[in-house]
Amino acid sequence: MKSLFFTLISAFALVVGSAYGLDKDANITPPANGGASVNVRDFGAIGDGVADETSAFQQALDSLGPQGGVVEVPQGAYRFSGTLNIPQSVTLRGPWNSVTAHNGYRDRGLPKPTDDGASFLVTGGAGDESARAFITLNTNSVLQGVVLYWPDQKIDDVPVAYPWAIQMRGKNPAVLDVELLNPYNGIDASKNERALIRNVHGQPLRRGIFVDRIYDIGRIENVHFNPWWSMRPKLFQWQLENGQAFIFKRTDWHYVVNTFCYGYRVGYEFGGSDDGVCNGNFLGIGADCCHTSVLVEQSAIFGILITNGEFVAMRGENPTEVVVGRDNYGSVRFNNCAFWGPSEQIARIEGRGTVCFSDCEFCEWDRANKGKPAIEVKGGSVMIRGCNFQADKPQIKLEKTTKRAVITDNFVRGEARIDSECANSRIEGNLSD
């Protein structure tokens, strides 16, 4: 038996080895990014924060050829007046192994060449957000371990428009361990397949991440947008009135994990484009100090599934955690989510789709004490089950235009105040304290 076992294992190893080119006669080709490596300093990059480094960087990127490889960026401050294209299978890598802290740039002015890490000072494209992105990623190309900083952007004024900091194209492009300190537009993650955005922090002022025309699963992990660069009143108020942190249009089964934003008009926006709408899995996402935490203009029938979310709406007129528009026909589901902050309402729902709240905590609403319900439904179908309404205020209003409603087994503070004009509803098992 023992001899038979080792014979089978040996045969299996031979089959696997042959499949992966590991037999002794195989012509083994190392992974592209494990092959050639060059240093930007060898192509004339200086890193003094003054010289224009665009040409030196592009020469280094293009030098690796079709086999790809790694372009290393040592410690320094690198100024760019132009744009960079990272070719297929090439990694542009700085020295940061994790996202750097933002501390000090605002107070010290420009990053110094002696600062730890690699800082890219972006100056091109001012005033034209439709211009080419500063960095373009292609199939299997990677940007990793750097800081992107716009030194001409003022911390206490309406921001100047710039094009996207990064655009991701092709198949499997990746942005890893990058700080987007103060871009006008952050990452255009559209027109690609399986894009990966992981460990990205910063303060995009107008748009954070834009997703559209992704036909194979994209991933966004550990992305946090906070006003670390500036909370000066004029700039921050502009961001509160205009900013959109995460924008999703056509994408098939996007996976979004551990993301957060603070201080935007819209935290997470789901809509449609000429190519379709969004569906995906959103786990552990958060939006604080927003006007609208989650805006659903359109969603796919397969569903936007939001689990373990935390949402706070408290800025502007009629701040609301969840707004579902009249054009929505798909499904939106909130499971085990918490909603708080001095908002007017938890949710306003229209459209023809289905919206579900299950095992959620509703903490604050009706901040002006005008008798507004936490959840107001004017269209579509709703299910609200097993939730906890913690304020002694009206909980739910179902207009007669609501198609269907199931409101069951919820806890409410004070008496149950569920106003229903919906002809097709089941309301039962809602317990007062």
Burial, 215: exposed, middle or buried (Cβ in 10 Å; 0-12, 13-18, 19+)?
middle
Q: What is the pLDDT, as a whole number, of residue 115?
A: 63
Q: Give residue 318's pLDDT.
A: 93
Q: Per-residue pLDDT tens for 338-361?
A: 999 999 999 999 999 999 999 999
Q: What is the pLDDT of residues 383-412, one digit of tens each?
A: 999 999 999 999 999 999 999 999 999 999
Residue 31's pLDDT band, with cuts at 50, 70 and 90, is very low
Tell whether the model's pLDDT for residue 237 goes beyond 90. Answer: yes
Q: What is the percent of the chain with per-residue pLDDT over 90, rounded to a whole number?
A: 84
For residue 9, the model assigns a pLDDT of 38
Residue 103's pLDDT band, with cuts at 50, 70 and 90, is: low
DSSP H/E element including 13: helix 2-19
CATH code assigned to 36-208: 2.160.20.10
Q: Are strands 292-296 and 404-408 parallel, antiparallel or unpaired?
A: unpaired
Residue 117 has what pLDDT? 85
Predicted TM-score (pTM) of the model is 0.90
Neighbouring residues of 160: CB distance < 8 A, sequence distance ≥ 6: 126, 127, 152, 153, 154, 184
Q: What is the mean predicted confidence (pLDDT) over 182-196?
A: 97
Q: How far apart are CA 83 and CA 57, in angstroms?
A: 10
Q: What pLDDT sits at residue 113?
A: 60
pLDDT per residue as tens digits for the range 353-390? 999 999 999 999 999 999 999 999 999 999 999 999 99
Map out the domains of the chain as residue ranges.
1-30, 36-208, 243-433
Quick one: pLDDT at residue 112?
62
Q: Do the domains 36-208 and 243-433 sit in the same CATH topology, yes or no? A: yes
Question: What confidence score (pLDDT) does residue 98 get?
Answer: 87
Question: For the residues 308-315, what does the mean pLDDT come to?
Answer: 97
pLDDT at residue 97, rounded to an integer: 87
pLDDT of amino acid 25 = 36
At residue 74 the predicted structure's pLDDT band, cuts being 50, 70 and 90, is very high
- Residue 10's region, left for phi above 0, alpha for psi from -120 to 50, else beta, is alpha
Query: Rounded to the nearest 5 degrees, what angle is found at the Cα of 209, between the Cα atoms of 203 and 212?
Result: 170
Q: Of 2.160.20.10, 1.10.3720.10, 3.40.1740.10, 3.40.50.620, which CATH number belongs to 243-433?
A: 2.160.20.10
Q: Answer whether residue 210 shows pLDDT above 70.
A: yes
Query: What's the longest Cα–Cα distance across the chain?
Result: 82
In this prediction, residue 182 carries a pLDDT of 96
pLDDT digits (tens, 9 = 90+) for 244-293: 999 999 998 999 999 999 999 999 999 998 889 999 999 999 999 999 99
More confident residue, 361 or 97: 361
Q: What is the mean pLDDT of the chain?
A: 90
Amino acid 29: pLDDT: 33
pLDDT the model gives residue 99: 85
